[in-house]
Amino acid sequence: MIDIKKSLAERVRPLEASAIREMFKLMGQADVISFAGGIPSPEVYPTDILAEISADILKNNGTFALKYGITEGYAPLIEQVAEKNKSQGIGSGCDVTIITTGAQQGIDLAAKSLLNPGDGVIVESPTFVGTLNSLRSYEASLYGVPVENDGMDLAAAEEILKTGKIKLIYTIPTFQNPTGITMSLEKRKGLLELANKYDCLILEDNPYGELRFYGEELPTIKSMDKDGRVIYVGSFSKTLSPGMRVGFLVGHEDLMDRIIVVKQANDVHTPLISQMIISEFMKQNDMNAHIAKGCASCKEKCDAMLAAMDKYFPEKAVYTRPEGGIFLWVTLPEGTDTGALLRKAIERKVAFVPGNSFMVDAAKPSNCFRLNFTTATNEQIDTGIKVLGELLADELK
């Protein structure tokens, strides 16, 4: 039997699945209460409306919907996205908008187009595992910066920037994955100032920003960018449907020109029918009203989870209280290994994601873990959090 592993490219070797891969298979079992997901509640998907739109498109415009499209995206959807972004101050005269196959592809295309092996990238610590793997695949040098209660530690970020090794800063400033923390306005301005000072780019990932249920909306970093220094990633996955895989990317026209070529080599174009369905949904419906329903669902589930945690979790377990999004973050005393804790939780039919999955050094045990509050029922939330609370009480004696 041939040993394929010896033929693997060096850049993909760090992407081997972690030891918890088999556990994630168990998380899909019907009797496991999973807080490990990363999607909004399926109950808010507008399935009936989307079914009608899909049928109409296929019946009356099926020939167009099922053929190749242009790499940049379906023109009406680009226009709708650009107009919506413009209302939020996103996009200057030098910016171009394209449609991507989910926000994940937008992140990957930006990384592929910008990074040479060894280029430095500042990431929040912790941060989205999908971005970490994308950056690793292009052999970037990753520098983790702690996430404080109001966002990235800018003093720590500047110390790294002083080395002159950084080309890109990746951030999820609003309802961050995995912590649920929101970066303050002061820090948003400060991060852009640092990027200007040290001449690097910012990749702003904002898939959760519209899911606010407490507090006041904050401007995106991109809305403060007048020079095209910020690349902005958005998505319909958290507001409409994760399965349709439609996102968008906004950036300087010179960068986007190259990204379009890279995307053409990647997947030619995002499925045209998905783009047309979303465009027609936005045309026929009040998108803000639809998103408001999603926010109400997120609020109800988050409130239920926090109430259960307040009731069942021991005092040594500290957790974030997000103003929106779909995640919260639990920190246990130093020395606790949440990877080992997950094994015990799975035995009790409850699942979460251990914190090491979101770190630059994923091999190092973490004392933190992520909980998703949108996919379980309120009853499951109470039951599952009670189980975790009992487990934590036993472990943290």
* Domain end point (choices 218, 249, 284): 284
Residues linked to residue 123 through DSSP beta bridges, in sequence order: 144, 170
Whether residue 211 is contained in a domain is answered as: yes
Q: What is the CATH number of the domain that holds 157?
A: 3.40.640.10
Residue 125 identity (one-letter amino acid):
S
Check whether residue 234 and residue 319 sit in a common domain. no
Residue 250 scores a pLDDT above 80: yes
Q: Are 104 and 38 in contact (CB under 8 A)?
A: no
> Could you tell me the two tokens for 155?
């003093």
Whether residue 134 is contained in a domain is answered as: yes
Check whether residue 352 and residue 329 sit in a common domain. yes
The reported pTM is 0.95
- Three-state secondary structure call for residue 390: helix
| Sheet order of strands, 201-205 included | 95-100, 247-252, 230-235, 201-205, 166-171, 120-125, 141-148, 151-152
Phi, psi of 222 (to 5 degrees): -60, -35
Check whether residue 364 and residue 277 sit in a common domain. no
Check whether residue 82 and residue 34 sit in a common domain. no
Check whether residue 327 and residue 278 sit in a common domain. no
- Three-state secondary structure call for residue 252: strand
Closest CA to 306 of 170, 222, 213: 213
The C-alpha angle 61, 72, 250, rounded to 5 degrees, equals 125
- pLDDT, residue 8, reads 79
Residues linked to residue 324 through DSSP beta bridges, in sequence order: 212
Residues whose CB is less than 8 angstroms from the CB of residue 164 and which lie 6 or more positions away in sequence, other chains included: 198
* Domain end point (choices 284, 318, 343): 284
- pLDDT, residue 31, reads 87
Check whether residue 248 and residue 180 sit in a common domain. yes
Per-residue pLDDT tens over the stretch 72-112: 999 999 999 999 999 999 998 899 999 999 999 999 999 99
Check whether residue 22 and residue 79 sit in a common domain. no
d(CA 132, CA 134): 5
Per-residue pLDDT tens over the stretch 179-223: 999 999 999 999 999 999 999 999 999 999 999 999 999 999 999
Q: What is the CATH number of the domain that holds 380?
A: 3.90.1150.10
Q: Are 196 and 174 in contact (CB under 8 A)?
A: no
Residues linked to residue 144 through DSSP beta bridges, in sequence order: 123
* Domain end point (choices 263, 284, 305): 284
d(CA 89, CA 295): 22
Whether residue 193 is contained in a domain is answered as: yes
Residues whose CB is less than 8 angstroms from the CB of residue 25 and which lie 6 or more positions away in sequence, other chains included: none
User: H-helix or E-strand containing 151?
Assistant: strand 151-152
Check whether residue 207 and residue 244 sit in a common domain. yes
Closest CA to 104 of 253, 248, 201, 221: 248
Closest CA to 298 of 328, 322, 326: 326
Whether residue 358 is contained in a domain is answered as: yes
Q: Are 179 and 320 in contact (CB under 8 A)?
A: yes
Average pLDDT over residues 133-140: 96
Helix axes 378-395, 287-312, angle to 10 degrees: 40
Q: Beta strands of the chain (E only): which ranges?
A: 33-34, 95-100, 120-125, 141-148, 151-152, 166-171, 201-205, 230-235, 247-252, 318-319, 327-331, 350-351, 353-354, 368-372
Local structure of residue 324 (DSSP, 8 states): B
List Cα–Cα distances, 127 to 147, 245, 362, in angstroms: 9, 21, 11
Check whether residue 135 and residue 90 sit in a common domain. yes
Torsion region of 73: left, alpha or beta (phi above 0 gives left; psi -120 to 50 gives alpha): left
Whether residue 55 is contained in a domain is answered as: no
β-pair type (166-171, 201-205): parallel
**pLDDT class for 20, splitting at 50, 70, 90?**
very low
Q: Are 156 and 146 in contact (CB under 8 A)?
A: yes
Average pLDDT over residues 9-18: 68
Check whether residue 335 and residue 351 sit in a common domain. yes
Check whether residue 74 and residue 40 sit in a common domain. no
Per-residue pLDDT tens over the stretch 320-334: 999 999 999 999 999
Check whether residue 135 and residue 198 sit in a common domain. yes
Closest CA to 20 of 357, 390, 385: 357
Domain region containing 163: 68-284
Name the domain count of the chain: 2
Whether residue 88 is contained in a domain is answered as: yes
d(CA 244, CA 234): 14
- pLDDT, residue 242, reads 93
- pLDDT, residue 298, reads 96
Phi, psi of 337 (to 5 degrees): -105, 105
Q: Are 157 and 191 in contact (CB under 8 A)?
A: yes
Q: Which residue has the higher pLDDT, 3 or 249?
A: 249
Whether residue 168 is contained in a domain is answered as: yes
